[in-house]
A = this chain, B = another copy of it.
């Protein structure tokens, strides 16, 4: 892994003691980069604050970082979701994005049953380097957004819903069968994984194009819209 990128700890099912131990040893091994803890309780976050100096946390995302922040980079990830229930997953994606030193822009309250708000969000989404779309229940939002923009789009199904939502399997299947081509999908509620995927996309941009662009800027004109 490259310098400064966070080490990640999945805190669910670990005791506060275990989390402090793991964080301590990861910081010792890589003092230049943050430790990112996801699925962390408020109690465990409070314990982190008692034990370490640089703790940032978002209770909605159930996430925290300890240690030096990642160095900021030039890259913007837009994260869209329909409503309150999907917010924790969207917030996990945003918190992780920021822990990687990237800019995260939240676009909430866009649901397919209110299509005009989705259309109104198009400029923001089209402007990002990568878009993460979070949706539960019918999981239809990525299909609509995927038809509006040609940005890389990562879909995150959530476990929001009941009955035949099957704990998120329904929106997962919806997204895998999206009629908008080029939609890629991560596990149910996996805001963290979507953000790491987005960081891979942005990283590819930095690493590869800059030298090519310098040599061939005249040859490769930006593709017309």
Contact = CB atoms under 8 A, between A and B. Distances in A.
Interface in A78-124: 82, 84-85, 111-115, 118-119
Interface string A124-148: 0000011000000111100110111
A203 to B, nearest CB: 6
B150 A224 contact: no
B220 A213 contact: yes
Contacts of A138: 139-140, 143, 174-175, 177-179
Nearest to A101: B223
B115 A119 contact: yes
Given A163-B188, A168-B163, A112 B173 contact: no
A163 B189 contact: yes
A180 B113 contact: yes
A57 B18 CA distance: 21
A127 to B, nearest CB: 9
Nearest to A188: B163
A27 interface: no
A197 B183 contact: yes
A143 B115 CA distance: 10
A208 B118 CA distance: 23
A206 B222 CA distance: 7
Contact of A209 (B82, B183, B205): B205
Find the residue from A2, A148, A180 having the highest chain B CB count within 10 A.
A180
Contacts of A201: 152, 201, 204
A71 B164 CA distance: 33
Interface string A158-169: 010111111111
14 contacts: A3-B224, A74-B220, A113-B178, A113-B181, A115-B115, A115-B148, A140-B179, A157-B163, A184-B184, A206-B209, A207-B222, A209-B209, A210-B213, A213-B213
